[in-house]
Amino acid sequence: MSVTPVSFTLNDLPLRDDLRGRSPYGAPQIDVPVVLNTNENPHPPSERLARALADAVAATAAGLNRYPDRDAVRLRQGLADYLGHGLTTANVWAANGSNEVLQQILQAFGGPGRTAMGFEPSYSMHPIISRGTGTAWASVPRTADFRVDVDAALAAIAEHRPSVVFLTSPNNPTGTALSVADTARIAAAAPGVVVVDEAYAEFRREGTPSALELLADHPRLVVSRTMSKAFALAGARVGYLAAHPAVVEALQLVRLPYHLSAVTQTVALVALDHADELLGAVADLRAERDSLVGWLRGHGFAVADSDANFVLFGEFEDRSAVWRALLDRDVLIREVGPPGWLRVTVGTARETAVFRDTLLAVTGR
């Protein structure tokens, strides 16, 4: 007897009704020369840094018979120092990517009978993690230029009384940043926790502030960050948040014991020690982003202002055809966001140049 008889599918399993018919989240992982679809930093660690990481992992390997520090204290201390703003270890929590941080937030503050809210188009993992934790999802549309309409937000908050509100700034997939004043108005009105997902914070333009500034006055505000984007460490899976210590205590009630492996903690600490090198390309990527926005507009495309390391552009009658034609020429971007738009990650100067040439070739501009 085969252990995988063909007649048996996941629908024959006692799968939760709300999961039936769903597909796993994730951009296609296709091995082509120019990969600009998941907002990674295009620069791998230097040989020197790769060596430092390997040496530290080797030292950690000698103690892998023991569980890691359950509270990741040294790492949280390092992350607090990196963030500044007077934050301490007690204000910071870390997990395997900010997606796990967000899931822990929903495990602690969401759940059956509760609602999470977001302003869409935005990061599609927010509703997916909400539903995965049994939390209802309330979607409020952004304006035509992808801003959060704060009056509409306050009305929706009054109507739905969400336990968790997601604000993404800079927003994915549009690149739009939110002002501190608007964030403060929403934080003051929301009855539950307000999560500002700042995965792209390091890429924001000069003069665009971070919600970290508001933490001291808003004890239910949470700012989440990640080492996956600017920090060029997507493969290590390290995300974190800053908040009032009470929020961190709440997350400790739902986190799995030893969720952050000793190897992960070591790698993240070495990365923090080399923050200058890892973040070294951020200025170049921002400049490359600004010039790509200008170039696309110069060629007649609609482009959303971006404070991130990607650009949302359009509008195409058949965006799937454009996405496919680019892929046929070895350039992988992302079909995401409002209909008619596509998102491209800012890569190296060479990758971005290949993208520009290929886009002209496939659109005939």
Ligand X SMILES: *Cc1c(COP(=O)(O)O)cnc(C)c1O
Rule CB under 6 A: is residue 99 a binding residue for ligand X?
yes
Residues 25-64 that bind ligand X (CB under 6 A): 39
Q: Which stretch binds ligand X (CB under 6 A): 19-27, 148-156, 187-195, 221-229?
A: 221-229
Sequence-distant (≥ 6) Cβ neighbours of residue 87 within 8 angstroms: 80, 212, 215, 242
Angle between helices 73-83 and 262-273 (to 10 degrees): 30
- Euclidean distance between CA atoms 72 and 70, whole angstroms: 6
Dist. CA 163–CA 190, nearest whole Å: 8
* Minimal distance, residue 175 CB to ligand X, in Å: 11
| DSSP conformational letter for 95 | E
Q: Considering only the stretches 54-62, 77-85, 223-231, 273-281, report the one whose residues sit in contact with ligand X under the rule CB under 6 A.
A: 223-231
Residue 170 in the binding site for ligand X (CB under 6 A)? no
Tokens for 187?
């934080």
* Whole-angstrom distance, CA of residue 227 vs CA of residue 157: 31
- DSSP per residue, 135-170: -EEEEEEPPTTS---HHHHHHHHHHH--SEEEEESS
Stretch that binds ligand X, among 94-102, 111-119, 151-159, 290-298 (CB under 6 A): 94-102
**By the rule CB under 6 A, 228 interacts with ligand X:** yes
The only residue of 37, 163, 168, 169 in contact with ligand X, by rule CB under 6 A: 168
Task: Determine the interface stretch with ligand X among 21-29, 96-104, 248-256, 313-321 (rule: CB under 6 A).
Answer: 96-104
Q: What is the DSSP letter of 266?
A: H
Which residue, chain included where needed, has tokens 């400049």?
A: 287
Q: Where are the beta strands (DSSP E) in 176-248?
A: 193-197, 221-226, 239-243
In angstroms, the CA 226 to CA 230 distance is 8
Sheet with 302-303, edge to edge strand ranges: 302-303, 310-314, 342-345
Q: Which stretch binds ligand X (CB under 6 A): 19-27, 43-51, 91-99, 356-364?
A: 91-99
Cβ distance to ligand X smaller for residue 180 or 308: 308
Q: Is 260 in the site for ligand X (CB under 6 A)?
A: no
Instruction: Give φ, ψ of 331 to 5 degrees.
Output: -120, 115
The residue count for binding ligand X (CB under 6 A) is 14
Task: Report, in Å, the least distance between residue 8 CB and ligand X.
Answer: 32
Looking at the Cβ atoms of 203 and 355, the one nearer to ligand X is 203
- Residue from 120, 195, 197, 358 touching ligand X (CB under 6 A): that is 197
The interface with ligand X within residues 110-139 (CB under 6 A) comprises 123
| Residue linked to tokens 């020690």 | 273
Q: Measured from the CB atom, is 99 or 104 closer to ligand X?
A: 99
Could you say whether residue 107 binds ligand X (CB under 6 A)?
no
How many angstroms separate the CA atoms of 28 and 124, rounded?
15
Closest CB 299 distance from ligand X, rounded Å: 26
Nearer to ligand X, 166 or 358 (CB): 166
The residue within the footprint of ligand X, chosen from 127, 239, 337, 338 (CB under 6 A), is 239
CB 252 within 8 A of CB 258: no
- In the complex with ligand X, which residue's Cβ is closer, 272 or 362? 272
Binding site for ligand X (CB under 6 A): 39, 97-99, 123, 168, 172, 197, 199, 226, 228-229, 234, 239
